[in-house]
Amino acid sequence: MVDLSEIEPGIVLLQMQDRIHKNAFTDDMTLALLNAFDTIAHHDRYKVVVLTGFDSYFSTGGDQASLLRLHEGRGHFATTNLYSLALNCRIPVISAMQGHGIGGGFVIGLFADVVILSRESVYTTNFMRYGFTPGMGATYIVPLKLGTALGHEMLFLARNYRGEELKQRGAPFTVLPRAEVLPEAMKMSRQLAEKPRVSLMTLKDHLVADQRRKLPDIIRSEVAMHEQTFHQDEVKQNILSLFGK
């Protein structure tokens, strides 16, 4: 499900590899990610985390079963802090999105400190494709990281974008051929691992302080919007008919 290993001194590789569900946020994947970041928090020698997926998938976001539960009013996405794991991690996180990032699967990668995309892969905030408003902090982090115009377009249209297109549209990320994404992330992680851990944590706390402060209110607003938009019959039908297509 999730492989966590210190592959070089101070460098932790966190690889999502649920090949059956394409790294969707099933209950098992969610628990595995929560446990992995908890493990990272309790090791004082770690300096940087590289978060990645497998083959052509980074993460496909919420699975159909969890979306149907939300439609039925059984819980909400903020029950766990899955969306903010990278943001709240004390040490820098590099999201090596070598594969497709769909919905919350794209958003969770954007909360990392450094983002690397692949030219070939599809990235989308597809919430509105099903008819419900975005969650997982998407309404905040997508415009923040990609710019207001492109971010709002992605959130409203909910269409697919290749990494190469996002680069051409001004996305301020490193965008490379898929095979080069993880090697570039490792190169960056080695540069970070050269620095003192205390200095890395202190700088991260400073750089993301505003995001950490604002995010709880954003999440509350998104949950409130879901109360208005998620329970429509049309949304259920879209989840049943469009999921995975």
What is residue 121's three-state secondary structure?
A: coil
Of 148, 66, 157, 49, the residue nearest 104 (C-alpha) = 66
Distances (CA, A) of 135 to 3, 20, 138, 187: 26, 24, 6, 32
- Sorting pLDDT into bands at 50, 70 and 90, what band is 79? confident
Of 10, 17, 28, the residue nearest 91 (C-alpha) = 10
pTM for the full predicted model: 0.96
Q: Each residue of 93-144: pLDDT tens digit?
A: 999 999 999 999 999 999 999 999 999 999 999 999 999 999 999 999 999 9
**What pLDDT is recorded for position 77?**
85
65-89: average pLDDT: 89
DSSP letter assigned to residue 63: -
Which residues lie across from 41 on neighbouring strands? none
Q: Which residue numbers are catalytic? A: 226
Of 216, 237, 219, the residue nearest 76 (C-alpha) = 219
| Ordered domains of the chain (ranges, CATH) | 2-178 (3.90.226.10)
Which residues lie across from 57 on neighbouring strands? 54, 100
Q: How far is CA 116 from the centre of its chain?
A: 12
Distance CA 23, CA 53 (A): 7
**What pLDDT is recorded for position 200?**
98
Q: Token digits for 70?
A: 């939300």
Q: Say which residue the tokens 């990645």 belong to.
A: 52
Distance CA 227, CA 70 (A): 9
Burial state string for 127-165 with b = 16 or more CB within 10 A and e = fewer than 16: bbbbbbbbbbbbbbbbbbbbeeebbebbbeebeebbbbe
Distance CA 15, CA 35 (A): 13
Q: Is the pLDDT of residue 76 over 90?
A: no
- Provide the terminal-to-terminal Cα distance of the chain, rounded to the nearest Å: 23
**What pLDDT is recorded for position 90?**
98
Angle at which helix 138-146 crosses helix 209-229, to 10 degrees, equals 130
Neighbouring residues of 190: CB distance < 8 A, sequence distance ≥ 6: 8, 11
